[in-house]
Structure 1
Amino acid sequence: MSIVQPVPLLASGSLAPAALARPSGTFAMVAMDQRESLRAMMSRHSAGDRVTNEAMVAFKLSVARELAPLASAFLIDRQYGYDRVVADRLLPADCALVLAADVLDQPGGVVADTDLDEQVDPQQARADGVAALKLLVVWRRDARREQRIELAARFVDRCREAGLASVLEPVTRPTPEEEAAGTFDLNDSIVEAAAELAPLGPSLYKCQVPDRGIGSISHLARQAERIDAVVDCPWVVLSQGVDPQAFLHAVEAVCRAGASGFLAGRALWTDALADADPLPVLRGASAPRLRELGDVVDRYGRPWQHARAAEAPGGAA
């Protein structure tokens, strides 16, 4: 008689991020869910030609084909390429599929605010082979803080009910008043957002790199320790705002402080946007960079099973 192993859970009751992890229990994940921001990046290299939806999908599929075999998970949005990734089975078995579940208010390519995408059906996503959903939350010290907490809580609950892991991604921004007065501190805001949102119990918490990756490893690690002190679930960093050449250095620093890896896009594939054919750059630069980053998270990252609040029923961790 076969014994059915229990699904690993976090102490919050959320599905553990085991399916998104490397054998080491760390994360080396590729983000390819950019929408109008990707169009804006591509337009800088388009010689004045309009960047079509088809061109965006083609680039995303190229990234999937070249980088997913080296990644523990691959994140994409439903609008540009998700259907093809699913139908063509582009991801290898050891690369989990993550679907963006956010609607982006994105005037001029900059995300101003977000909401849950009601066109994403968690049960259908699970049937498609999706292992996790991701929600971006733009966090500010403004009058909408409680609404954003409620939004993030609904997202975590929706994933839990569907049996999907939840990846919660707060990105902190200044209010107009903070920007005008020059009083916004990125590191303080990352910690404050984490203290407010991580207790909602996502499977994986994703945040910005302190100081945008500028500074020594010891300095960045000290700042990242502040994040680790308030996050009781596995956490990873994104690469937005970090110079691609500095991202390896930044990932080592945050992993030394307790992070479990990264879910990054721009630091991996931005260089490939400059050529009409992205494949040479994806193969010659992006893939080696991803391999090196994987080695770093394996060496320095905290396995998700060792996050303070992580536990698994029946010892299944």
Structure 2
Amino acid sequence: MTTHPAVLTGGSAAPAALARPSGTFAMVAADQRDSLRTMMAQREGVPGSDIPAARLTDFKLAVARALGPHASALLIDRDHGYRRLVDEKVLPATCAPILAVDILDQRPGGPVEDTALDEATDLAAVVADGTRGLKLLVIWRRDAHRDRRVALAARFVEMCRDAGLASVLEPVARPTADEEAAGTFALNDAIVEAARELAPLRPSLYKCQVPDGGAGTVAGIAAQAERIDAVVDVPWVVLSQGVESADFPRAVEAACRAGASGFLAGRALWTDALSGDRDATLRGASTDRLRLLGEIVDTHGRPWWDAAAASERVTA
């Protein structure tokens, strides 16, 4: 039985601002910072220092213009495009802006090692801008800093709740140095362990990696994704990092069949546009891929209100 959103309590309606009419999520990520600079530099065969911030901003706004009309929300960062996105009214009313409020500890050309919360964010101004949600990336490891990361994520969820904004919590599981050296890191187990630790903080949306990196059959990925669904009692979506673009539609279908409500993805949608005719690729192949993914989540995704209603029953 489907529960209408109006009967939900306790702030559960926050995901509605980011959702499609079906109650699922087809969201575009354009908040990459140094990683986007690195991708651009690699394709052009130049040092990352040769890619100015303005290039990142221009690319993100091009993504927003082309894909925004087909997305339920778009994620962007303050340093590369947020202000122009808002001031120039780039997004249609059907696509909600999400602001990344994570401060990244990332060496040029390397992965994000850790994050912090941008506590200086003017939440009243963000709300006035029409932004509907905030996002925090958390790098999760089996190390001595787990309690600190839980506290960080809890503060983020509380901050969003106080401001009336949707909270998108994105834990990304990574190995410790010892696990990497010993080859003992199991991605699927780590995704579930991270979810068990952080999903009880009750963000509006929990965003996580696809099991098996999206490789394999729909049934095989779904079987692993069911382990995530068993420990996450809020609406959840998947990201595309580490998943080949061609594999991502199958990965999204598998996750949705296991209980996910959609995706928040960047690389799987717009990486091809980093080479050749950017705008033509964004309007063509990237848009086609986003439309296909939207059909997949509408067909197989769990509406956010069903996930939220189940969560309300669990905590009642």
**Offset at residue 284 of structure 1 (A):** 1.4
Query: How many pairs does the alignment contain?
Result: 304
CA distance in 2, matches of 1:304, 1:16: 10
3-state SS in 2 of match to 1:141: coil
In structure 1, the residue matched to 2:284 is 284
Q: CA 1:292–1:202 in 2, change beyond 3 Å: closer, same or farther?
A: same
Residue of structure 2 aligned with 1:48, choices 40, 46, 49: 46
Q: What are the superposed Cα offsets for residues 25-55 of structure 1, whole Å, 9 maximum, x if unpaired?
A: 0000000000000000010122427111111
Q: CA 1:9–1:151 in 2, change beyond 3 Å: closer, same or farther?
A: farther
Q: CA 1:310–1:20 in 2, change beyond 3 Å: closer, same or farther?
A: farther
CA distance in 2, matches of 1:119, 1:53: 21
CA distance in 1, matches of 2:8, 2:116: 25
3-state SS in 2 of match to 1:68: helix
Say whether the 8 Å CA contact 1:114–1:137 is kept in structure 2: yes
Q: How does 1:132-171 map to 2 (within 5 A)?
A: 132-171=133-172
In structure 2, the residue matched to 1:96 is 96
CA distance in 2, matches of 1:117, 1:260: 28
CA distance in 2, matches of 1:255, 1:176: 32
Say whether the 8 Å CA contact 1:66–1:283 is kept in structure 2: yes
Q: What are the superposed Cα offsets for residues 81-104 of structure 1, whole Å, 9 maximum, x if unpaired?
A: 000000000010010010001000
Say whether the 8 Å CA contact 2:99–2:134 is kept in structure 1: yes
Q: CA 1:243–1:207 in 2, change beyond 3 Å: closer, same or farther?
A: same
In structure 2, the residue matched to 1:309 is 311
Say whether the 8 Å CA contact 1:135–1:169 is kept in structure 2: yes
CA distance in 1, matches of 2:45, 2:195: 41
Matched, 1:58 2:58: yes
| Structure in which a larger fraction of residues adopt helix | 2
Residue identity opposite 1:41 in structure 2: M
CA distance in 2, matches of 1:162, 1:235: 21
CA distance in 1, matches of 2:224, 2:84: 40
3-state SS in 2 of match to 1:309: helix
In structure 2, the residue matched to 1:258 is 259
3-state SS in 2 of match to 1:115: strand
Q: CA RMSD in A?
A: 1.5
Say whether the 8 Å CA contact 1:202–1:233 is kept in structure 2: yes
Matched, 1:83 2:53: no
CA distance in 2, matches of 1:133, 1:61: 18
In structure 1, the residue matched to 2:175 is 174
Q: CA 1:161–1:15 in 2, change beyond 3 Å: closer, same or farther?
A: farther
3-state SS in 2 of match to 1:79: helix
Say whether the 8 Å CA contact 2:169–2:203 is kept in structure 1: yes
**Offset at residue 119 of structure 1 (A):** 3.2
| Unmatched tracts of structure 2, length 5 or more | none
Residue identity opposite 1:187 in structure 2: N
3-state SS in 1 of match to 2:299: helix
| Unmatched tracts of structure 1, length 5 or more | 1-6, 312-317
In structure 1, the residue matched to 2:68 is 68
Q: CA 1:47–1:178 in 2, change beyond 3 Å: closer, same or farther?
A: closer
Is the deviation greater in 114-123 or in 141-150? 114-123
Matched, 1:269 2:279: no
Q: How does 1:170-249 map to 2 (within 5 A)?
A: 170-249=171-250
CA distance in 2, matches of 1:196, 1:17: 21
**Offset at residue 16 of structure 1 (A):** 2.4
Say whether the 8 Å CA contact 2:14–2:164 is kept in structure 1: no
Say whether the 8 Å CA contact 2:77–2:99 is kept in structure 1: yes
3-state SS in 2 of match to 1:112: strand
% same residue: 64
Q: CA 1:249–1:75 in 2, change beyond 3 Å: closer, same or farther?
A: same
In structure 2, the residue matched to 1:21 is 19
3-state SS in 1 of match to 2:169: strand
Q: How does 1:4-19 map to 2 (within 5 A)?
A: 13=11, 16-19=14-17
CA distance in 2, matches of 1:12, 1:223: 30
